[in-house]
Structures are given as C-alpha cells and as structure tokens.
Structure 1
Amino acid sequence: MSVVVTFKAGNRDEDLRYQDGEDREYLYVIGDNGTLAIYGKEANGRLEPGQQPDIIYGPAAWFSVSGDTRTRADEPVSRSYSS
C-alpha cells in the first residue's frame, strides 16, 4: 500500500506518493503535536525493533494524508525469556 501526502499550498506543487517498485508497504503516524511520520515496512512485512521513520513532516508542511496507518499489529514482537 502506498501513502499519499498532500502538502499545504505553497509547500509543494503536487502530492507526494510513497511507494516503490518492490511492493514495499508504507505506513503513517500522526503525532500528538501534528507531525506526520512515514515508515517503510521491511521485507518481512513488519517494522523492525526501534525502527525510525523514513521521513517526518512538521505540522505546518502537510494538509492531508491517505493510506494505511501504523497500528499495534505492525509493531515488532518483543520476546523476553526468564528462567
């Protein structure tokens, strides 16, 4: 799935689509402060532990976004073992 970002007037002339020819899936998260973070899933179809966003836009840069949002199901599975 791709993520499409529409920027506020004057910031860009066109929408920006995150997708590539390798069918990499992209997700987005809107932060509490209005920032927009775009994540690319790895080849295994999940996010890696501690993975940082591919790009972050400030709240003054973007107007709307469409695509898949990042959910808890996309989080890496943490495994802890105790004896």
Structure 2
Amino acid sequence: MSVEIKLIGAELEKEPFRYEDGDGCEYRYVVNDNGTLSIFEKEDGGHITKKEAPLAVYGAAAWSSVTGDPWTTADAPRARVRSF
C-alpha cells in the first residue's frame, strides 16, 4: 500500500500527497514521539533498519493525517543468532 499524507494548509488540504508503491519499492511511515512524520523507502524483499535515514520528514505542524503501511518489526532485518 502507498503512503498518503494530508498536509496542513488552505491550498494543500484538498489533495493528499502520495508516495506510490511501484518500481520495486514500497513505502512505510513512522510517527515519531515529537509528532514528526518520517517516510521510509523499502525495496521489495528488503528491510528498513532503525538507523536508516528517512526519505522525507514532515514537521508536526505540516501534516494532519497519514494512511498506508506503518513501519513494523516485520520491516526490520531478522536477528542473527550466533552460536558459541
């Protein structure tokens, strides 16, 4: 699913801004503790690490709602178990 953001502003409220899935990429979002919204790009079959830089960040006062796929632990790389 694509990520769709409703931005704040008189002229921007009518049409949401979209990050469309396609061309081998998917998009995920994270609402941060400070109210900012981070958008991440994920290649098909790939992973998004917590240290990865977001594709875009929207300030808390720039957006009012978001729909789509949030970042979940399923998007993170699997932990590697090491033996002794």
Q: TM-score, normalised by structure 1?
A: 0.81
2:20 corresponds to which residue? 19
Q: Which runs of 5+ in 1 are unaligned?
A: none
More moved, 31-40 vs 47-56: 47-56
Shift of 1:82: 5.8
1:5–1:73: structure 2 CA closer, same or farther, 3 Å change rule? Answer: same
Q: Count the aligned residue pairs.
A: 83
1:53 corresponds to which residue? 54
1:41 corresponds to which residue? 42
Identity across matched positions, percent: 45
Shift of 1:20: 4.5
- Verify the 8 A CA contact 1:47 1:76 in the aligned structure 2: yes
* Letter in structure 2 aligned against 1:6: K
Q: TM-score, normalised by structure 2?
A: 0.80
Give secondary structure in 2 for the equivalent of 1:45. Answer: coil
Matched, 1:65 2:66: yes
- Verify the 8 A CA contact 1:2 1:18 in the aligned structure 2: yes
Question: Which contiguous aligned blocks of 4+ residues in structure 1 show a shift greater than 3 angstroms?
Answer: 80-83
The alignment yields a C-alpha RMSD, in angstroms, of 2.2
